[in-house]
Amino acid sequence: MYWNEEIECIGRSDLRKLQSEKLRKMVERIYYNVPFYRKKFDEAGIKPQDVKGVEDLHRLPFTTKQDLRDNYPYSLFAVPMKEIVRVHASSGTTGKSTVVGYTKEDLEIWSEVIARTLTSAGITSKDVIQVAYGYGLFTGGLGVHYGAEKVGVTVIPISGGNTRRQIQVMQDFGTTALACTPSYALYLAEEMQEQKMRWEDNSLRVGIFGAEPWTENMRKEIEQSLSITAIDIYGLSEIIGPGVASECVCQSGLHINEDHFIPEIIDPDTLEPLEEGEKGELVFTTVTKEGLPLLRYRTRDLTSLTYERCECGRTLARMRKCLGRSDDMLIIRGVNVFPSQIEAVLLETSGTKPHYQIIVDRKHNLDTLSLLVEVEEHFLSDEIRKLESMKEKIRHAVESNLGISVNVNLVEPKTIQRSEGKAKRVIDNRNNLQS
Ligand SMILES: [Zn+2]
C-alpha cells in the first residue's frame, strides 16, 4: 500500500535526475539567502553554478548542530520571518536549544512524508491513532498529527504523560494505532498488565515508535507485550521532524524520503563518503525545504544504506535501524559502548525486565560501569543462589560482548523511574567529577 506510488516506486535514475534538479535550485537559494552558507561557499571557492547534480554533493560544506546553535535563533532561515508560520525547538539539554522554522509549504511536505510513513505501516483512514508524543516545541506530536489528518486517520491528540488516562482512552475510543517512544510503549504495556486488562478490551494493532534508538529485542518485547506490529520511524527536527524515514510492514530497514532529503554516509573521522552497505555517520541534505534548508547536515546517527528494491516494491533507499548516535556513545576505559548494545544483552537474558540504567563512574582514576536491572517478580522470591547465577550470567554476557567488566545490581520491578518521553538510560557521573 503506497501513499505516493509515483515517488515511492520511482526508478533510481529518474530519482537521481529529480534530486539533482532540486539540489541545484536549493544551492542557489541558500547561497543568495543565507549569509552563513555564502561565506562557506566563498571560503571553499565554490559557486552555485559549480553544482550540476548529486554527483557534486561531496564537494559541498557540512552543517553541524553547533552551526545551528551559533546562529540561534533565526540566522540560518532562508526566508523572511513573515513567511515562517511555525517554529519548533530541541530541548537544549546541553547549551542553547536549536530552533527550526517552517513555511506553509514546509508543513505541507512534512504532512506528505508522515502520510507515506503511516500508509507504509498499514494505517488507513479507518484507523484511530493515539498520538502520545509530546505536543509543543518538540516536533513529535504535531508532526505526526498533521500527516495523520492528511490520510484521514481519526487523531486523538492526547500528547505524552498521564498513563492511566492513556489506557482509559485507548479502551474507550477504540485506538488501533499508537505513536510514542518505544520506552513509553513498554511502560504502557506494563500498566495494562497491572490493571489486568484483557486483550479483547483493546483494539490496538500497530505502533509507530521513534525519537530514541531501540533494538530488535526491544521490538520483540513490545510486539509480544502489546500484541501489535511495532514499526520504527526516524526523524530529527533539524531535517523536518518525524517522517524523514520509516519502516514498511516488511520491517527490513527504514525507507528514506529521498525526494526531499538526500542521504549520505560518511566516515565520521575522515569525513569521506562511504559506499553502500558501509557503516558510518548519516548526513542529510534537504532539497525542498524553504524555511530552514540544510546542506549536508551531520546527524551523528550511525547506520548504513542500501539502494536495493524492498520486498514491498518501494525503490527509496533504506537505512538500517540506528545502532545509536555518536554522541550517545560512551567511552569506558577506551572501549566504545552504545547503550543499545547493553540493552540487547539484557533482553536476551530471561527473567529480566526491559528496564535498566547504566551508571558510569570514575573511581581512583578508573572508569567503572554498573548496571541496574529490574527482574521479574517471581525471581525475587527465589533462592539467593538463583539470583546470584542470573547476575553472573549478565556480567559474563556483557563482558564477552563488549569486552569490559561490569557490576550488576538486580532490583525489584518498578524501581527504575519510568519515562513518558525519551528514557534516561545513562547516568554518567564522570561529567560531574573533576578529572
Ligand atoms: Zn519496504
Nearest residue to 99 via CA among 86, 90, 111: 90
Spatial contact of 53 and 20, defined as CB atoms under 8 Å apart: yes
Expressed in angstroms and rounded, the spacing between residue 312 Cα and the centre of ligand 1 is: 4
Expressed in angstroms and rounded, the spacing between residue 255 Cα and the centre of ligand 1 is: 7
**92 pLDDT higher than 60:** no
Expressed in angstroms and rounded, the spacing between residue 408 Cα and the centre of ligand 1 is: 39
Q: How large is the angle between the packed helices 140-151 and 104-120, nearest 10 degrees? A: 70
The SS3 of residue 82 is helix
What's the first-to-final CA gap in the chain, in angstroms? 56
Expressed in angstroms and rounded, the spacing between residue 319 Cα and the centre of ligand 1 is: 11
| Average pLDDT along the chain | 91
Identify the residue whose cell numbers are 535550485. Answer: 25
Reported as a single tens digit per residue, the pLDDT across 123-156 is 999 999 999 999 999 999 999 999 999 999 999 9
Expressed in angstroms and rounded, the spacing between residue 243 Cα and the centre of ligand 1 is: 15
Expressed in angstroms and rounded, the spacing between residue 315 Cα and the centre of ligand 1 is: 8
Expressed in angstroms and rounded, the spacing between residue 149 Cα and the centre of ligand 1 is: 23
Q: Which of 148-152, 310-314, 381-385, 408-412 has the lowest mean pLDDT?
A: 381-385
Which amino acid, 148? A
Expressed in angstroms and rounded, the spacing between residue 290 Cα and the centre of ligand 1 is: 28
Expressed in angstroms and rounded, the spacing between residue 129 Cα and the centre of ligand 1 is: 22
User: Rounded to two decimals, what is the model's pTM?
Assistant: 0.86
Expressed in angstroms and rounded, the spacing between residue 7 Cα and the centre of ligand 1 is: 13
Expressed in angstroms and rounded, the spacing between residue 1 Cα and the centre of ligand 1 is: 10
Expressed in angstroms and rounded, the spacing between residue 52 Cα and the centre of ligand 1 is: 30
Expressed in angstroms and rounded, the spacing between residue 236 Cα and the centre of ligand 1 is: 21
Helix (H) or strand (E) holding 131, with range, is strand 128-131
Spatial contact of 123 and 104, defined as CB atoms under 8 Å apart: no
Residue 19: CB atoms within 10 A of its CB come to 21
d(CA 197, CA 210): 25
Expressed in angstroms and rounded, the spacing between residue 157 Cα and the centre of ligand 1 is: 28
Expressed in angstroms and rounded, the spacing between residue 297 Cα and the centre of ligand 1 is: 25
d(CA 372, CA 357): 5
Spatial contact of 96 and 90, defined as CB atoms under 8 Å apart: no
Expressed in angstroms and rounded, the spacing between residue 120 Cα and the centre of ligand 1 is: 8
**280 pLDDT higher than 90:** yes
Expressed in angstroms and rounded, the spacing between residue 108 Cα and the centre of ligand 1 is: 23
User: For residue 434, what pLDDT is reported?
Assistant: 43
Q: How large is the angle between the packed helices 384-402 and 339-347, nearest 10 degrees? A: 140
The residue count for the chain: 435
Nearest residue to 311 via CA among 242, 249, 356: 249
Which amino acid, 158? I
Reported as a single tens digit per residue, the pLDDT across 221-275 is 999 999 999 999 999 999 999 999 999 999 999 999 999 999 999 998 999 999 9
**61 pLDDT higher than 60:** yes
